[in-house]
A and B are shown apart, each in its own frame.
Chain A
Amino acid sequence: MDGNINTFEKLLAECKISGKKIYEIMQEKEALDFEITIEEVRNKVRKNLKAMKSAILRGLNSKEKSYSGLCGDECYKLKERYNKKPALFGELFEKITMYAMATMEENLRMNTIVACPTAGSCGIVPSVITAVSEKDKIAEEEEINALITAGTIGYIISSKVAMAGAVAGCQAECGVASAMSAGAVVELLGGNSNQIIQASTLALKNVLGLTCDPVAGLVEIPCVKRNVFLAIHSITAAELALSDIESKIPPDEVVDAMLQTGQLMSPLLKETSKGGLAVTKSGIILNRKIMG
């Protein structure tokens, strides 16, 4: 195997040649590169998966506000409302939105979360994997397969684009997380490797140019709610891909477009809080209020 799998084309070729799934290729590569066993790789993933789930559980039962006082009670609001009137799209939708919100709220409370790929996008992959697995009673081993699949998607994208808002805007954080999550869902639902990669590509293609303009420079506005939106976004991508709908622009070219878009974006919109939402009238008032 070519040790340097850094494009989707190489990954897909490797799947075809070896007859293995994406997660199998990645766990073998990780074991080889770091001189550990596949079992050890999977146990590390298992530990992270468990930490993701405990963050969701804690978040579902908390209303504690963040240091800024701006956020922290919105998962509770969702829960209250769903109890009174169920979501239009049913229980799976309710769970994904609550789990994503719960995780991000735990993050801003300075509690324990798992960066996936970053802390500012930590709600997307865990909410989707957990909610879909609960719905279909999917076993933990398969959730681990899905999380490794998600990680592989992020691994390949980050070969070209650093996963940081300061480098390429939010497309590189929540955008990448939704691509990872879309691939994970297809894996959970038994899709093939091409469908997994297509799901990720479709998700990514639809968030190109997403800015990183947080109010007061905090991982709160718009980050918390954006995690909820992009978790649902990843399901749309997965549904399309599972229907064999493909991106007319090949996966690696979409990543190239993402890289170029990131480079073309003004630094004012890349985690500097000097543009966009951060400098709206209300954004500035909130900033003054928090910073004193």
Chain B
Amino acid sequence: MKQRSLFDVISPIMTGPSSSHTAGAVRLGILARNIYKEIPEKVTFKLYNSYATTGKGHGTDKGLLSGLLGLTVDSCDIKNIFELPLSKNIKYSFEYEQNIDRHPNAVDFILEGKINMVISGNSIGAGNVEITKIDDFSTKISGEYNTIILFYKDKPGMISKVSTLIQDENINIASLECDRNARGQTASMCICVDGDIPERLIKSTENIEDVYFVRNVKKLED
């Protein structure tokens, strides 16, 4: 469970007008950036439901792009992001869809570049967000914790191998969730930890046999 804070109530310092539709959009963009790790050549933002209908008036489109390009929720560049040189090096487009199976404020980042990836997230209220899916895998990334994401072959002992490496760094695990396509197929692990994640831990996790993909997703700073 989330550690509640005074600053959940009297923060953040942000670009208006909406916690969920503007600040939330920026935060989703930042998390997508932290997962993808580089600037993609091309991104298609697919906005659903309320994000699709009222997004423009709330600058949701600007917020998503700004976050992906590394701006924070309090940046005064969000408003003019489409005109700034920063956004000229990336191809971007927006699609809009009504879909009752998706959250009212849902977005897909369809990222193309050295690798292709689809990252899905929701803005769940008061500026809080969650990344719910990377490609076909369920995730639970809220940005409140530094998080290790890995995809690997579903087989016995994987959790133990990874958690041993984390223990060796004297890092405390706050939560751990796994998901898989089917028995013996590709699985995903989502580990939230207290404190920082050293790069060597990511390297050693990558070296575990049958681990396909590892990411260190930094927590949101504000």
Contact = CB atoms under 8 A, between A and B. Distances in A.
Interface residues of B, number: 36
Contacts of A41: 6
Nearest to B3: A33
B9 A219 contact: no
A286 to B, nearest CB: 11
Pick the most buried of B5, B23, B57, B74: most chain A CB atoms within 10 A of its CB: B57
A195 B55 CA distance: 42
A113 B19 CA distance: 11
Interface string A158-177: 11001110110000000000
B28 to A, nearest CB: 16
B54 to A, nearest CB: 3
A166 B122 CA distance: 14
Nearest to B79: A110
Contacts, number: 146
B70 interface: no
Nearest to A163: B126
Interface in B114-169: 125-127
Contacts of A119: 14, 16-19, 22-23, 127
A47 interface: yes
Contacts of B18: 119-120, 219
A273 B54 contact: yes
Interface residues of A, number: 56
A87 interface: no
Contacts of A150: 9-10
Contact of B10 (A110, A117, A217, A291): A117
B19 A115 contact: yes
9 contacts: A26-B6, A111-B76, A112-B74, A113-B13, A119-B127, A148-B10, A166-B125, A219-B16, A219-B17
Interface of B: 3-20, 22-23, 50, 53-54, 56-59, 62, 74, 76, 78-79, 104, 125-127
Interface of A: 26-27, 30, 33-34, 41, 44-45, 47-48, 51, 66-68, 106-120, 122, 125, 147-148, 150-152, 154-155, 158-159, 162-164, 166-167, 180, 216-220, 271-273, 290-291
